[in-house]
Amino acid sequence: MSPMNVVFVDDDADVRHANAQALDLQGVSVQACAGAREALDILTDTFPGVLVTDVRMADMDGLALFRHVRRLDPEIPVILITGHGDIEMAVGAMREGAYDFLSKPYAPERLLAAIRHGTAQRRLVLENRRLQAQASGAGGADAAESMLIGDAPAMVRIRELLRHVADADVDVLIHGETGSGKEVVAQVLHRLSRRRDAPFVAINCGALPESVVESELFGHEAGAFTGAQKRRVGRIEHAHGGTLFLDEIESMSAAMQVRLLRVLETRQVAPLGTNEQRTVDLRVVAATKADLGDPALRAQFREDLYYRLNVVTVNIPPLRERREDIPLLFTHFAALAARRFGCPAPQPDPALWRRLMAHDWPGNVRELAHVADRCVLGVQPMPAGASCATAPDAGSLPERIERYEAELIREALAAHDGDIRGVLAALGLPRKTFYDKLRRYGIDRRAYVRGEPRTGAASGGTSS
């Protein structure tokens, strides 16, 4: 977990050092400054933390510093430390955009809470900016990989695999449940490869009517059949030089499987109405919900086609098997929704975080994206009757007590963004006991650390 970052400004050396030491003990990275001008030398529009400044200072006071920072970046959270007589002035500064103010004397817990909340807001602002930069056309391998959001080991392995095979001319089979992100994986592979400037042609094999599938895939010449008034280039030929993505390939008819196998073996296509064989240079990426590696599930799918496609296989885990990615994904989708709908991205309360982490997610990442949309729009985030991993009223009394205890731990982790010191203080538990309970209940503390700069936090997401 990256520490919270604070620039703390006070011209009283004793106050400055005492606060810096207290915050450091709470895991906060503090840059202590004796004056406003020293702070201005540190702060930039990419500063990832919070400014805390006393109001009454010589040379440049805290209000003047606040207004300088507003011009630098109006979204840097500024917390003002005021004396009793300065409260009215501090309220006026908050109307101008100051994040918060604390009146002396203040409790250390109050300062820490303000810093924690301000840090979460700042990280979300910087994340939104990264998303906007990505949407405006930033390219390259890093931008492609950033579409695959997640720090779970399985997602890290998938990104490594795609990098490894990107420029190898091998066909790829992607296996994953509905909504797990199969098309996004295919797009990332295409963008990482030397074919990135050629077409990415996606076909849903289950959505094409049998009457038109042959024409759609292979194309036709004028007069090839009734109504064929002009030549049409098929999807396979259109993908020349690029990538052909065949989604739900398990639903392809037996006849089309035979023709596709011929294309894969010869890299040639013959449109309807002609005997001409046209050479195509393409990579085929096929996706399936069914595990075609299981002979029982492959009953309607040709074995020779399966083995021809199965040069490299990418298995995408369902969301329920990578729950540690849920906070990162939710924050990403909420930021996208906020920009799309033109409204702020709300901070989920602990109860919502608890439900997000407990839900089974049968619709996987796509379902999570829809929940984020509803949360931003202010409607019921989780659908009524949504299935959860545990039922609150099932089991014996000891089982219910254990579930309740686990929920309290999850709620405290969510409320403190996974910060151990805050959670231990809130629950009144010794550190060893706390970690024993995490192991007993299978709780991953890292899943609650939100707003960190992580691999893949940009536009796209695994939602297909």
Residue 401 inside a domain? The answer is yes
Tally the domains of the chain: 3
How far apart CA 436 and CA 441 sit, in angstroms, is 9
Asked if 224 and 343 sit in the same domain, the reply is no
pLDDT category at 158 given cuts 50, 70, 90 is: very high
pLDDT category at 396 given cuts 50, 70, 90 is: low
Is 385 a residue whose pLDDT tops 50? no
Say what the alpha-carbon torsion angle 317, 318, 321, 325 is, to the nearest 10 degrees: 90
The strand order across the sheet containing 50-54 reads 28-33, 4-9, 50-54, 78-82, 100-103
Q: For position 299, what pLDDT does the model report? A: 74
Among 113, 135, 157, where does a domain finish?
135
Q: Is the pTM of this model over 0.75?
A: no
Residue 453 inside a domain? The answer is no
- The domain in which residue 370 lies consists of 322-448
Q: For position 282, what pLDDT does the model report? A: 93
What is the per-residue pLDDT across 272-309, written as a single tens digit (0 to 9) for each? 777 888 899 999 999 999 888 777 777 788 889 999 98
Q: Which of 400, 414, 401 is nearest to 443 (CA)?
A: 414
How far apart CA 341 and CA 339 sit, in angstroms, is 6
What is the per-residue pLDDT across 75-95, written as a single tens digit (0 to 9) for each? 899 999 887 667 777 778 888
Residue 460 inside a domain? The answer is no
Which DSSP letter does residue 319 get?
Answer: G
Residue 169 inside a domain? The answer is yes
How far apart CA 309 and CA 265 sit, in angstroms, is 10
Residue 177 inside a domain? The answer is yes
What is the per-residue pLDDT across 237-281, written as a single tens digit (0 to 9) for each? 999 999 999 999 998 888 889 988 999 999 998 887 778 888 999
Bigger pLDDT: 452 or 3? 3
The CATH number of the domain where 77 resides is what? Answer: 3.40.50.2300
Asked if 124 and 174 sit in the same domain, the reply is no
Q: Which of 110, 94, 77, 91 is nearest to 7 (CA)?
A: 77
